[in-house]
């Protein structure tokens, strides 16, 4: 199998530099329109796909991002590995603005989003005990260090609905739970990537200390934007190194991300909803 890397760019990252044969293309999905067209190309002999999560010009709020369409489009284009890049706040003194965190766990506090491709007429349950791919996270860690980024391996990401930032009481509560960073977009994205049998790694770029820190007070958008711009440059350096690290030839995932649906389907074939099954052609065609 050939490697095809999908990058989902978060706040401050709306494009990707250095791609050969670069072109923006529109891809249709039965789950609705994705956030934007996707940028296709190749880097060091590896196919790359870039999708701006909020759309160019930042038109989608965290709640209105079409998460299902985005993941479906990447799967439909043959993506094998997804790297999510997103902005976040920090709950830890040693995880400072400008640092990056390779997230490995999530607590999902979102409530206004569709979180599964499956449902009435075709029920499935996938494991999310380890929601990110360790192999892909290793590559992101190496790429970050080689790019000179202060990068922390491992962290729990609290996904909040937004678009407002946390109250101080919420910030202190989430910190007491053992969360390391807070953001608004990695859920349900990671859940959907697992349902689509895609390896998924999450790179969280710290912009602020949320509102718990006694010396920093409330989050200010003006401060966030300045750090976002600096983080965006570093993130592009990290992304540019991934193709060489992952290489063009891809073996099956040693952690089973690409076989997540092997024992997930619950609905008897005779009772499956044909319309839903048709929409699942890219996501679950391997097992359907």
19-50 pLDDT, tens digit per residue, is 999 999 999 999 999 999 999 999 999 999 99
Which CATH number is associated with domain 81-284? Answer: 3.40.50.1580
Contact 53, 35 (CB under 8 A): yes
Residue with tokens 């065609």: 285
Cα–Cα distance, 285 to 288 (Å, whole number): 5
Residue from 81, 99, 210, 258 carrying the catalytic annotation: 210
Active site residue 215: no
User: Which residues of the chain have a pLDDT value below 70?
Assistant: 215-224
Residue from 99, 108, 208, 258 carrying the catalytic annotation: 208
Phi, psi of 107 (to 5 degrees): -120, 120
Cα–Cα distance, 68 to 114 (Å, whole number): 8
Cα–Cα distance, 232 to 5 (Å, whole number): 18
Run of H or E including 136: helix 134-146
Task: Map residue 239 onto helix, strand or coil.
Answer: helix
What pLDDT was estimated at residue 18? 85
122-174 pLDDT, tens digit per residue, is 999 999 999 999 999 999 999 999 999 999 999 999 999 999 999 999 999 99
Cα–Cα distance, 83 to 26 (Å, whole number): 20
Buried b (16+ CB within 10 A) or exposed e, 34-53: bbbbbbbbbbbebbbbbbbb
Which residues, listed in sequence order, are joined to residue 181 by a DSSP beta bridge?
Answer: 90, 157
Active site residue 210: yes
Output the six-digit token pair for 43: 């880097």
Cα–Cα distance, 281 to 283 (Å, whole number): 6
Cα–Cα distance, 102 to 140 (Å, whole number): 7
Q: How big is the chain by its Cα radius of gyration, in Å?
A: 18
């Amino acid at each position: 199998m050939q490697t095809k890397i999908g990058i989902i760019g978060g706040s401050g990252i709306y494009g990707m530099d250095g791609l050969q044969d670069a072109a923006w293309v529109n891809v249709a999905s039965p789950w609705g329109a994705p956030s934007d067209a996707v940028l296709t190309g190749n880097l060091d002999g590896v196919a790359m796909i870039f999708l701006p999560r909020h759309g160019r010009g930042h038109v989608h709020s965290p709640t209105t991002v079409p998460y299902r369409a985005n993941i479906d489009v990447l799967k439909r284009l043959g993506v094998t590995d997804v790297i999510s890049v997103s902005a976040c706040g920090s709950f830890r003194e040693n995880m400072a603005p400008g640092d990056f965190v390779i997230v490995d766990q999530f607590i999902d506090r979102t409530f206004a989003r569709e979180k599964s491709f499956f449902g009435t007429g075709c029920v499935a349950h996938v494991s999310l005990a380890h929601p990110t791919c360790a192999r892909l996270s290793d590559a992101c860690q190496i790429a970050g260090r080689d790019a000179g980024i202060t990068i922390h391996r491992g962290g729990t990401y609290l996904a909040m609905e937004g678009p407002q930032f946390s109250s101080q009481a919420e910030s202190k509560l989430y910190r007491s739970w053992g969360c390391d960073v807070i953001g608004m977009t990695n859920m349900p994205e990671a859940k959907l990537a697992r349902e689509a049998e895609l390896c998924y790694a999450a790179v969280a770029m710290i912009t602020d200390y949320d509102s718990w820190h006694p010396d920093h007070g409330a989050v200010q958008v003006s401060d966030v934007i300045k750090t976002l711009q600096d983080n965006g440059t570093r993130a592009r350096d990290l992304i540019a190194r991934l193709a060489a690290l992952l290489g063009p030839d891809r073996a099956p995932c040693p952690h089973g991300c690409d076989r997540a649906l092997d024992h997930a389907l619950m609905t008897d074939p005779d009772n499956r909803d044909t319309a839903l099954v048709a929409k699942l052609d890219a996501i679950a065609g391997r097992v359907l």
